Chain A
């Protein structure tokens, strides 16, 4: 372990959640969008939250930031920022935290920018409000921020409306706005899903450069394991409102424990596979979070399911690798897993996609 890592592991987490639950009241019943999630993010660290649609990853990041409506939402558990409880604060009390301490970049830069306000006005707004700058001071800073996020001709761009900018340029504006008050914690919710692959690479590079330069913490929400692989220190895989596996990025890929994570990795088409190779799929659909299955939430779709999985819910347990936890009775590599794998391979039901485990 290098000395830097020891210093880091002793540091207090910047953001910590303890068993937070966010449930929504719906006509069909209570939707358990986030159902008992505990995570810690230390200063300067980045955590990737990965999962399919409906796994609760977006609701998790919004719960931490306090961006959920008050009505029809049931919240439990605790959210701490620099050791202080912020989970029970009102939006009015949160105002001093938003922008200045925590900021968020959303998926769709067109709908999250105000279409009838020049982007310069949108970026100086928070500078004037939180840092008490004058209009001209704020404009100077805004221009510098635009230069930081590599927007060409910043002076001209500040005077434009969002519709005059391309998708990639709008996302740069969003990043500049998020950076404006120098937050300690940045949430990025699928920041590149709406962008082209070349622009995606530029934006991810920009986010990680800003994180490094400002010693910021980052929570990156995405459904793309390829995106988190290159840009995060740690990954939490979510399924049905729970974290089912959490590990340092390298460990997660090299030493996957949870069959769901394995299945997710296998379903990505890879360039090193020959054309027309059969893609591995995960049968079925994500669980109904209003009526989640009784045992393990992934059990109905899992190829390695046994009776126990259907009746009892596995607790989060520690793997032999450090900082690695998972929720499974028969993890990848266990005797029961291997036994079933042999059976499946014999029946030809397992699609081989190279050596992943």
Chain B
């Protein structure tokens, strides 16, 4: 996969977050080797939009989410949020900026302090930032807990282990909302939950998004969930973006062979549908020494010599549908203008 390239970035006023050439590398001890977790990706998110990021384990999707929060700061690249480049901020200014971008995590139980009662957990951000009097803070907390469907009285006297996984995820969501953020980064928020509970949390996020005017970055490996919640989806593979598109288009018309593989691997809850033959073998190569050219070439059914040497860049193959592939599933033979950066 692909690739770099910025053809898919939009130049409108309501861009809330714009990430360009994001690179995150982790050195391995003193070996001089490094893990190329994210290798030069760019994307943007408009106000009120939900961007879904999907990919297999190790593709860099969580690292991308964390890099936006500067946890840790990226190796290079810019992250412009509301007109400010977060990578240039230091210490105190970044702490302040984080009140506008909040995060919720995969494991709802371990992301809450087991020794504190739930109301205090949700209150903590407000007391750190001294927002209002103690009474006002408590009122805000209770209001938000009601919003996410947790009984404030029970929260005042219970610890996280007294709640179920779904309820703990609601509590995490409440904690992320108390500072009235503009954007929430959801890192696999429903992967650890049962299907019925998963649906409750997805519905809740949709409701809160409307009510609080939130912008979401939704990171997950379950494409069906991502499709349901997202307006736009970026598919990642081994630290690169292979395809960016509106969520309906992506599912109806996948252009990158990898997207097609991901889609065909989803089990269909219908026994009359024949199980689709998997068209991909093996597992992603190591991000320590990623393959040259397109990073998907080692597993791609369509790989050619060109794919093994030349890295494809993102280009538009239909309106608002971008793919980084030399041999996309459609639109490959049509004359395409490759926009360079």
Interface residues in chain A, defined as those with a beta carbon under 8 Å from any beta carbon in chain B = 52-53, 152, 166-169, 196-202, 204-205, 223-227, 229-231, 249-250, 253-254, 263-265, 267-271, 273-282, 285
Query: Which single member of A226, A269, A282 contacts B228 (CB below 8 Å)?
Result: A269
Min CB gap A223→B, angstroms: 6
Residues of chain A within 8 A (CB-CB) of B281 are: 202
Residues of chain A within 8 A (CB-CB) of B264 are: 201
Min CB gap A284→B, angstroms: 9
| Complex alpha-carbon distance, A282 and B224, angstroms | 18
In order of increasing CB-CB distance, the 4 nearest A-B pairs are A226-B267, A279-B199, A282-B196, A201-B265
B261 A198 Cβ-Cβ under 8 A? yes
Given the contacts A197-B222, A273-B228, A278 and B268 also touching, CB distance less than 8 Å: no
Min CB gap A216→B, angstroms: 19
Given the contacts A200-B267, A269-B202, A279-B202, A230 and B222 also touching, CB distance less than 8 Å: no
Min CB gap B283→A, angstroms: 6
A264 B228 Cβ-Cβ under 8 A? no
A253 B196 Cβ-Cβ under 8 A? no
| Complex alpha-carbon distance, A268 and B225, angstroms | 9
Interface residues in chain B, defined as those with a beta carbon under 8 Å from any beta carbon in chain A = 56-57, 164-166, 194-200, 202-203, 206, 221-225, 227-231, 247-248, 251, 261-273, 275, 278, 280-283
19 intermolecular pairs with C-beta atoms under 8 Å apart: A52-B195, A53-B194, A196-B56, A201-B264, A202-B281, A205-B275, A223-B194, A226-B266, A229-B268, A230-B275, A263-B196, A269-B202, A269-B222, A269-B227, A271-B266, A274-B248, A276-B228, A281-B199, A285-B166
| Complex alpha-carbon distance, A196 and B262, angstroms | 10
A271 B202 Cβ-Cβ under 8 A? no
A197 B271 Cβ-Cβ under 8 A? no
A229 B228 Cβ-Cβ under 8 A? no
| Complex alpha-carbon distance, A249 and B264, angstroms | 21
- 7 additional contacts, CB 8 Å, given A53-B165, A225-B195, A269-B227? A226-B269, A227-B267, A270-B269, A271-B251, A271-B263, A275-B248, A280-B199
Tally of A-B residue pairs with Cβ under 8 A?
127
| Complex alpha-carbon distance, A281 and B230, angstroms | 19
Min CB gap B187→A, angstroms: 16
Residues of chain A within 8 A (CB-CB) of B278 are: 198, 201-202, 205
Most buried by A among B267, B275, B280, B281: B267
Min CB gap A14→B, angstroms: 23
Min CB gap B104→A, angstroms: 18
A271 B199 Cβ-Cβ under 8 A? no
Please give me the residue from chain B that is nearest to A227 by CB atom: B267
| Complex alpha-carbon distance, A166 and B285, angstroms | 11
| Complex alpha-carbon distance, A278 and B204, angstroms | 10
B268 A275 Cβ-Cβ under 8 A? no
Min CB gap A271→B, angstroms: 5
Please give me the residue from chain A that is nearest to B278 by CB atom: A201
| Complex alpha-carbon distance, A282 and B193, angstroms | 13
Query: Which single member of A201, A202, A263 contacts B267 (CB below 8 Å)?
Result: A201
Given the contacts A230-B268, A264-B196, A166 and B283 also touching, CB distance less than 8 Å: yes
| Complex alpha-carbon distance, A83 and B212, angstroms | 62
Query: Which single member of B197, B229, B247, B266 contacts A197 (CB below 8 Å)?
Result: B266
Please give me the residue from chain B that is nearest to A51 by CB atom: B194
Given the contacts A197-B223, A227-B267, A268-B269, A276 and B195 also touching, CB distance less than 8 Å: no
Residues of chain A within 8 A (CB-CB) of B166 are: 285
A250 B265 Cβ-Cβ under 8 A? no
Given the contacts A276-B228, A280-B199, A197 and B268 also touching, CB distance less than 8 Å: no
